[in-house]
Chain A
Amino acid sequence: MTSRILVVDDDTALAEMIGIVLRTEGFEPVFCADGAKAVEEWRAQRPDLVLLDLMLPGMDGIEICTRIRSESGVPIIMLTARSDTADVVRGLEVGADDYIVKPFNPKELVARIRTRLRPTPQSTTEALRIVDLVIDVDAHEVRRGSEPIALTPLEFQLLVALASKPQQVFSREMLLEQVWGYHYKADTRLVNVHVQRLRAKVELDPDNPRIVTTVRGVGYRAGSAG
């Protein structure tokens, strides 16, 4: 099964080049150069992943990301020309899973895409339990009692990574490697922002988290200590 990837970028040369790279790697790229039509195009194509330029004519990437996220948990990777501006954080906050800074090399791009498309590692055991949540790894489902909680694949992966070893404290670097596939020092804001998003969905009181707790100076863990 070839994965379909929607490339939203107004620079046609770059879009085409990304297309060539993706095709070489066995993906099926589809394109959209107009921000205003991106969401429509996404609905029509139902891609497995979206590569989204942040600076677009018509509608900016943040807005597109927000709209797509309101309908789907599809992986979104932002393409950005800026590495340290508020844009990146805003993009992550509205639900982009990852970002890649221009100019990137094809291996980096493909590695990022593959990580996001990688299926959740199959859990051999039955459902994971953490505080009052039940995580059915095979069914990709999280429930509190009988009520299902909708998570994006990334958030699900993050929760599973934490819940599968409830006694362990995960540093941000460890989570970056396990969930985002970074093998080198990367931006820990990715972890911070997505933990916040995850908490907003799974915690009863996000300001006073019980499921994903912060271990000061180290990182995060599932449940509370002891």
Chain B
Amino acid sequence: MPPLASVAPRAALVRDWRGWPASFATLWRRSLRFRTLLATLALTSVAVLVTCGAMALAIQNNLWEARKDQALDDAQRAVTDVQKTLASAEVQGDRAALQRLMRNALGSVSSSTMIATFRIDDSPSDVAPSDFFLGGLSKDLLSDQLVKRVSDSPEQQWWQPFAIAGPDGQQHAGIVVGHQITIPEAGAYGLYIAYDLADTEQTLLLVQSSLWVAGTILVGIIGVIAWFAVRSVVLPIVEASETSARFAEGDFAVRLPVRGEDELATLGRSFNAMADSIEAQIKELGELSMVQQRFVSDVSHELRTPLTTIRLAAEMLNDQRETFDPATARAAELLHAQVERFDTLLADLLEISRYDAGSVQLEKEPTSLAHLAEELVDEMTPLAANHDTELRFVAPGGHTPVEMDPRRVRRILRNLVGNAIEHGEGNPVVVTVDSNQHAVAVGVRDAGMGMAPADAERVFDRFWRADPSRRRTIGGTGLGLSIALGDARLHGGTLGVWSEAGVGTNFVLTLPRDAAGVSGPSPIPLEPQEALADIGAVTEPIPLATAPRRLPSDAAADGDRGEGAERGDDRGEERG
């Protein structure tokens, strides 16, 4: 599907984007460092923001205020000067002279060059000089309100913020101050002086930007400091947790490095003390267990030589029991039987001690489980006949050789089949072999008295018996199933049991095809799917020669259930 493919990258991107909150949340939850750092940065930022903001405002106000006062003073002085000059002038009736005088006076009174005057009285006058404007200040730049106020109150100074177009066309902040002056004969004029506050604005901008830069740097520095502070605390914690994990995994030699004498060093010392103690105890336990295993193994070995002698002697006596009187003959017989039993028990005990010591080695070779099971069924048939039990063998799969230790698998099966015959109460015992793509399995099922599920859980326990009073007819040491389970596990396989009182018992041994171990369900379900009477009425498996042609080769015959579809196709062809 090509459209999907082309959409995929974008979809992935979108998915990534959608995943961000989730990954952020994960980071927040998982990382103390991240969380602390983020919180520190956020709080510091707020603090710096507030402080800088307050400082900037205060500075701004003060600067403005100072500059405004300065401007007002300057204007006041200018007004006074102009008034004085005008008052002392002798220009009666000469409009041009008055105009010149005013222009001269105004040109030098103020620090600002932006000056304007206009007449307030609108009564006609011959001498009243015309309105004039200096430095780009025009009447329409002044607000009506200001003009009105200045006109209305002769003694009051008025001011207003003002935007001045600078030489580069940019607007500057400014202030315009208005005041009335009185020109003799001409009446009241409004004098307006505008002050450019660009320099103040510049200063303020500089101060503010310095403040913000300083604030940002401060936040950054605090972030770095927090990072290192948190790191110095978190790193040892991470180290401690990693060390604990390794310790938990069984590496008992790991220790925490102890630096200095602070709290973290105390943590390290406590941890190390705990680790020392645990390691010592485990070592002690291990040694004890090893000593015990060695002891069992040694005892078993040491018992073997005298047992051999006893066995030889018992055997000889038993062979000659016809020549003894009946009581002695029976004694010889009992001796012989019990020595045999002792022998089996000792062998099993030795085997168990090998499992405990972990010294068992598998001798694997490719073996067909179906063939092995079939041979075993043949071998056990006489025993089954002695117990009036029918032994059936069904093998839908499991013919291809799989790596296993055939001696051990045979031993497991012998044990399972023996048990089934013993507890089967004369009902048929069915041995089933099957396989899937991961595993081969053999099931041994009887329809005997069965067990309660609680008992079934304990069948693999050593020396455990479902019913202590139950008679034993076929050997059995009480270790057989433990050994069978040990063998199955050694193969990476499983040995499961299903049992129900009054219905019967089913044991399933599952062996993996490769060393990876059993994954997925066993080819043979533990809980029986069909009534025992329905399976394997024919003892022999269907010979391959007469098997349907849908099995094109022996390889397919071993029943890889995963290839069922292919098989279906084959069958379809045949029918078509």
Contacts and interface: CB of A to CB of B under 8 A. Distances in A.
B92 interface: no
Contacts of A103: 304, 307-308, 310-311, 343, 346
B316 A14 contact: no
Nearest to B311: A103
Contact of A20 (B310, B316, B365): B316
Nearest to A105: B315
B388 to A, nearest CB: 25
Contacts of A106: 312, 315-316
A21 B318 CA distance: 13
A14 B361 contact: no
A102 B304 contact: yes
A217 interface: yes
Contacts, number: 55
Contacts of B308: 14, 17, 102-104
Contact of A82 (B301, B310, B346): B301
B316 A13 contact: no
A11 interface: yes
A103 B361 CA distance: 22
B340 to A, nearest CB: 8
A58 to B, nearest CB: 17
Contact of A185 (B306, B313, B343, B407): B407
Nearest to A79: B308
A84 B307 contact: no
A13 B304 contact: no
A220 to B, nearest CB: 15
B401 interface: yes
A21 B304 CA distance: 18
A11 B305 contact: yes
B550 interface: no
A81 interface: yes
A130 interface: no
Given A103-B343, A217-B366, A217-B401, A81 B304 contact: yes
Contacts of A81: 301, 304-305
Contacts of A21: 312, 316
A26 to B, nearest CB: 15
A64 interface: no
A218 to B, nearest CB: 11
Interface string B330-365: 000000000000010010000000100000110101
B366 A104 contact: no
Interface in B398-424: 401, 406-407, 410
Interface string A62-89: 0000000000000000000110100000
Interface in A94-126: 102-107, 109
B315 A107 contact: yes
A109 B366 CA distance: 31
A106 B336 CA distance: 12
Contacts of A208: none
A163 to B, nearest CB: 26
B6 interface: no
Contacts of B305: 11, 14, 81, 102
Contacts of B410: 185
Contacts of B343: 103
User: Which DSSP category, helix, strand, loop or mixed, fits chain B's interface?
Assistant: helix
A18 B304 CA distance: 14
Interface residues of B, number: 25
A185 B408 CA distance: 12
Interface string B303-328: 01111111111011000000000000
Contacts of B311: 103-105
A24 interface: yes
Interface in B69-91: none
B301 A18 contact: no
Contacts of A17: 308-309, 312-313
A21 to B, nearest CB: 6
Q: Tell which of A13, A18, A109, A189 has the most Cβ of chain B within 10 Å.
A: A13
Contact of B309 (A11, A82, A84, A109): A11
Contacts of A82: 301
A13 B309 contact: yes
B407 A18 contact: no
B306 A13 contact: yes
A96 B360 CA distance: 24
Contacts of B309: 11, 13-14, 17
Contacts of B312: 14, 17-18, 20-21, 105-106, 109
Contacts of B346: 103
A109 B311 CA distance: 12
Contacts of B407: 185
Interface in A185-225: 185, 188-189, 217
Interface in A110-154: none
A96 B366 CA distance: 27
Contacts of A188: 365
Contacts of A189: 363
B364 to A, nearest CB: 12
Given A81-B301, A217-B401, A102 B316 contact: no
Q: Tell which of A13, A103, A104, A185 has the most Cβ of chain B within 10 Å.
A: A103
B377 to A, nearest CB: 14
Nearest to A16: B309
Contacts of B361: 84
A103 B314 CA distance: 12
Interface string B215-235: 000000000000000000000
Nearest to B401: A217
A188 B363 CA distance: 10
Contacts of B365: 188
Contacts of A104: 308, 311
Q: Tell which of A17, A21, A188 has the most Cβ of chain B within 10 Å.
A: A17
7 nearest interchain CB pairs? A103-B308, A102-B304, A103-B307, A102-B308, A81-B304, A14-B309, A17-B312
20 contacts: A11-B305, A13-B306, A14-B306, A14-B308, A17-B312, A17-B313, A20-B312, A21-B316, A81-B301, A84-B354, A84-B360, A102-B304, A102-B307, A103-B311, A103-B343, A103-B346, A105-B315, A185-B406, A185-B407, A217-B366
Given A11-B306, A14-B305, A14-B312, 17 more contacts: A13-B306, A14-B309, A17-B309, A17-B312, A20-B316, A21-B312, A24-B316, A84-B354, A102-B305, A102-B307, A103-B304, A103-B307, A103-B310, A104-B308, A185-B407, A188-B365, A189-B363
